[in-house]
Amino acid sequence: MIQDQGQWQPGGGAQDFDFTLMRDDLCITVQVIEKNADPETMLLPRLRKKFQLTGTKYGCGVGGCGACTVMISSYNPVIKRIRHYAANACLIPICSLYRVAVTTIEGIGSTKARIHPVEERIARCHGTQCGFCTPEMVMFILLGNHPESSLEQLTDVLNGNLCRCTGYRSIIDACKTFCKTSGCCQSKENGICHLDQEINELPEFEEVNKTSPKLFSEEEFLPLDPTQESVFPPELMIMAEKQPQRTKIFSGDRMIWISPVTLKELLEAKFNYPQAPVVMGNTSVGPEVKFKGVFHPVIISPDRIEELNFANCSHNGLALGAGLSLTQVKDILGETIQNSPEEKTQMYQALLKHLGTLAGSQIRNMASLGGHIMSRHLDSDLNPLLAMGNCTLNLLSKKGKQQVPLNGDFLRRCPDTDLKPEEILISVNIPYSRKWEFVSASFRQAQQQQNALAIVNSGMRVFFGEGGDIIRHLSIHGDVGPTTICAKNPCQKLIRRYGIMSLDSKPWNEEMLDAACRLVLDVTLPGLALGGKVEFKRTLIISFLFKFYLEVSQMLKRMDPVHYPSLTDKYESALEDLHFRHHCSILKYQSADSKQLLQDTIGHAIMHLSGIKHATGEAIYCDAMPTVDRELFLTFVTSSGAHAKIVSIDLSEALSLPGVVDIVTEEHLHGVNSLCQKEKLLVTEEVFCAGQLICAAIADSEVQAKQAAKRMKIIYQDLKPLILTIEEAIQHNSFKPEKKLEYGNVDEAFKMVDQILEGEIHMGGQEHFYMKTQSMLVVPKGEDQEIPKYIQDIVASTLKLPVNKVMCHDLVKRIGGAFGAKAIKTSIMAAITAFAANNSATVIPSCSATASSIGFMNDGRSLALDMEHYSNGGASLDESLFVIEMGLLKMENAYKFPNLRCRAWACRTNLPSNTALRGSGFPQAGLITGSGTTEVAARCGLPPPTPEGNANLVRMINMYEIGQTPYKQEINTKNLTQCWKERIAMSSYSLRKAAVEKFNSENYWKKKGLAVVPLKFPIGLGSVAAGQAAALVHIYRGSVLVTHGGIEMDQGVHTKMIQVVSRELRMPMSNIHLHGTSTETVPNTNISGGSVVVDLNGLADACTLLKCLEPIISKNPQGTWKDWAQAAFDENISLSATGYFRGYESNMNGETGEVHPFKYFVFGAAYSEVETDYLTGARKNTRTDIVMDVGCSINPALDIGQIEGVFIRGMGLYTIEELNYSPQGVLYARGPNQYKIPAICDIPTELHISLLLLSQSSNTLYSSKGLGESGIFLGCSVFFAIHDAVKVAQQERGLSGPLKLNSPLTPEKIKMACEDKFTKMIPKDKPGSYVLWNIPI
């Protein structure tokens, strides 16, 4: 809380206040005197830096990810009510917290006192992997949990939170433990429940059903304890009740913050500072200041004024105070709808539905109604709907009152209708709807259903005369991307033309609809419209108009069934919402061996050992470590041009700023300015991509370093050619060395086949989007530098030191998610940071395009594949060659091509260099062969589909049997076949296929599709040296300390390693402690990746210690480890040992064509089912079933979590996540507002995972298999299910020819793939008549 310390006087300096935080589960407050509060300081850095409350994380910085969620509590003495709500600490100025209590995750519970049941359950339900986002999830489950909470309510509040690791299913499981559930999936789509015994308990599935222990036991959970619930500090209530409210004014170095408490004071402040923005939640002004460089010398914050927080119902409608938060507006609308006649609340129902999709719940809690209206953002969700609803605004200034209509002129800021600078919005009038008036605002299409900016958003209203004979009024408003559209003139034309019809005809008919569509399209978009997708947006406008026509027709039929005909059955589905909410899952895995020792946990579902600390916020990450003495901060300066000569760099202004220590440039790094000869660390002469590192500012604080970076003046001169796309690289012959794989005789095979399929497919890239961003801490210690071996080598080279004087530590035992991005790129930043310490960004996996020819027989057998694969590698080599090489070796996936020729090139372009991602080339290569096989099934001319479907039959015909891979490595695919068969049983495929066909025959605008994909993923690193690993084990009196060479990212490697040591030493896990990875204890470690971290480091454990101790143990078999360790010490037996594993055998001699790059194969299969809406391009994944061959799982809970998380990531790669670049090569999609990753609303309604029973042992660690990467490809089952649905829609519309769909398969591509009467209407811009907003990469 913030307490008053006196009134500010002009020239008197800043005010002091007391800042009180809820620190632990006993609700004890810790009070800190805040001197000279700066209005520019946000709550988040204050919590993390000053109070060391690091459980609240810094993620995106714009309130889009939820990592910084805290609970805000305030008391209203007028209505005697306490309000608790979640908010984004990254956007909250500390000056706005007067008389407010702030609770962080540390105030919920801790391991030092007692943990909260929510924290315990999310950990025990395995809802944490890297753990970075877990505290935010806890905060939201806690705030959304009420005695009668439904699962829908809890998942609703979580939609503002992102997780890149878990796939959300385990988090939903934790939510379910607080809800009353029916036990059924509650979503009998196709008339089938996943619990129906007669469907899923097929003979083939009986054995699997016998082996499914639960991943957690609810009986062990802590009960909810009322004493742990939120308690508002009583002293704040006393202050609010007894101390009078006074205007607060805070003055910083550059900004003044004025917080009035009455309307009179507010009007006075606005009169004195007419240009000052009025800020309530800071959700609009905050991001502009932080990322766009906007500065306001004065800010007025009226969040304590009661006259702005009210709701009044009158005979005309609802008046809402401008200060109400959007969440409060939502609650008020819901209550009004319940208490009013239905015909009067159509507008309120439309607004309420829209508010459910607007932003995340934190933003809705903070943003005010007035602020949302007055910001008039071009992508606003509510403003067009309020304008459509004939709402009015009540304004006030010192000169008096004014009421203005909220219409298109106001939204476009026309001078005649805009506010005067000194005016304040007091309230908004929202009128009731009337009889024979129909309102709809459920017309919204975005990249995601929730928490995403709308691509097109529209509200429509029509008012008929009594009996529906006359159209008296028609209103259409919308935001089309960043363009506000008010179709006033088209509406007036329609009323004049169709307002009154003859006695035997009504005005609301298809003739009117056709004319309306054509007139509305006159209000069109230019080809250069911001956000691109111009034709898609135009189509959506009239698709929404058609939906409105159907909605009104349906309601008119109810009111006048004689004169208005019923809708055809095929059209009714166009009005139904696509998304269902009830999530369910079945998880199946093999029980651990009953003969295992009691302390042996191999095969058991063990909770992530850091899970509780993840949930309580006590898990420490690099940027949460305590500040060290004389700590400096470094910020990079990056290029704004994609290919340019640097004419000059002026550092003088930056160096003159207070707190700036130095600026590191290429000149400082003379002789060591390269990364293994692949890439320069810093450049000062020529840049080859936007975002290339130029120099680095070093300062006493992070803020000062960033300010210095902004003050550097760099002048560029553009250079030619500017190569951005693969096509441009081919044109300019801008390639890196070719890679080739050939098997059999392709040319001869093409002469023998019945048909040859030729085509190409393009696939976009994907952001790693790890929640924990790149960070490193460098501490110089004399000539020895304490900094995984790769980073150690680069840092040593940069500092010109022997490697033995550079120590690299994983001091905090975790780095957050990485997904391939924290190896090569991290070393660049670590090297420069180390150099700076000694002397004083986001990466994207490659985009690809592939042209291929497949020769096949009419029975579906593919005999030859000839493929040319191009990968957009970016400006430097990085990992591009490794990625395309791995893609070639894995490209056939589960299919056997007797004759194969594949060539691949990494294209050098002027985009940021691309690096590895989960799968390293396989997600791209697998999509190629999957697409080809799907098209072969469509063309081969097989007889009418079998129950399994022609596509599945062709897949089965071409799947591997025992034999050789194209690189002549022996392979046994028994488990591949078993995965395929179990998937058939698990998904009830034939029944679901029949149900899907029935649905499709009955619905014209909605179609369902299903698809099954097999998986063969090779595991190995390509060389013996890359597979080396070591571990160090110390035995003390009864306990063990372990350290190894693996890095904990999100895969639970430390948990599994302790399980391994527990088995080998026959010791309980509680007696084993793991020390963070360090080059001091385990030298020459390899990069952690390739799904083999546990394999290699587990095989390196010091099991030889047990052999040394066996004579001791045999003498005293009933003794304890404490006894044995003491006896060994007394007999001079070493209790420390190093384990070493030399690596799997591997051969990568590409010249002979006979290589053995991989140790083993992971097999799997996935079935996915989707429903698509062809009016909008929206889709939902209704069900996914995955079967994976994991060998003998060391920890089924962690392995299932890995499968789920990587599958959801793959689904994002193939269907959601889209990178947009400007024609100048600048990435548009930066941060969660522009780049969308899967959220809870995107996961399958049903997600079922089955681990294949161990049928054959392998020469791996306990016959286990690595799973971190393979499952990403299974996400393309959703891609091919959409493909199947689009194909059905095309056939129904009489469209023939091949179906070409590229990845990611976004709503735009789904909609535009199906031509209909609406897509034919839209005007087409002539190529070359405009400049593209973005370019396809």
- Residue 313 to residue 301: CA distance in whole angstroms: 27
Contacts 24+ apart (CB under 8 A), 861-864: 861/957, 861/958, 862/895, 862/897, 862/932, 862/933, 862/936, 862/958, 863/749, 863/752, 863/753, 863/897, 863/898, 863/899, 864/744, 864/746, 864/749, 864/750, 864/753, 864/897, 864/898, 864/899, 864/900
Chain position carrying tokens 């105070």: 321
One-letter amino acid of 621: Y
Q: Where are the beta strands (DSSP E) in 453-562?
A: 454-464, 471-480, 483-486
- Residue 807 to residue 783: CA distance in whole angstroms: 11
List the one residue out of 916, 23, 68, 10 whose CA is nearest residue 1. 23
Hey, what are 13's tokens? 């300096």
List the one residue out of 928, 883, 890, 943 whose CA is nearest residue 907. 883
8 Å CB contact between 385 and 302: no
The SS3 assignment for 287 reads helix
List the one residue out of 843, 1022, 1011, 985 whose CA is nearest residue 927. 1011
- Residue 1003 to residue 1289: CA distance in whole angstroms: 10
Cis previous bond, 721, omega within 30: yes
- CA atoms within 13 Å, Cβ hemisphere of 675: 24
List the one residue out of 794, 803, 783 whose CA is nearest residue 833. 794
- Residue 1223 to residue 724: CA distance in whole angstroms: 8
8 Å CB contact between 247 and 260: yes
- Residue 676 to residue 882: CA distance in whole angstroms: 15
Hey, what are 307's tokens? 């006259």
8 Å CB contact between 827 and 799: no
- Residue 498 to residue 89: CA distance in whole angstroms: 53
How far are the Cα atoms of 578, 730, 1305, 1310 from residue 1313, in angstroms, in the given order? Answer: 19, 27, 10, 5
Q: Where are the beta strands (DSSP E) in 294-337?
A: 298-300, 311-313, 317-321
8 Å CB contact between 326 and 355: yes
- Residue 828 to residue 807: CA distance in whole angstroms: 16
| Residue 112 phi, psi dihedral angles, 5° rounding | -80, -25
Cβ atoms within 10 Å, residue 1161: 25
Specify whether 466 is catalytic: no
The SS3 assignment for 769 reads coil
- Name the pairing type of β-strands 1246-1251 and 1179-1188: parallel
8 Å CB contact between 876 and 787: no
The SS3 assignment for 772 reads coil
Given 1269, 1292, 1308, 1315, which residue is catalytic? 1269
| Torsion sign over Cα 975, 981, 985, 988 | positive
Chain position carrying tokens 């000056």: 95
**Catalytic positions:** 1269
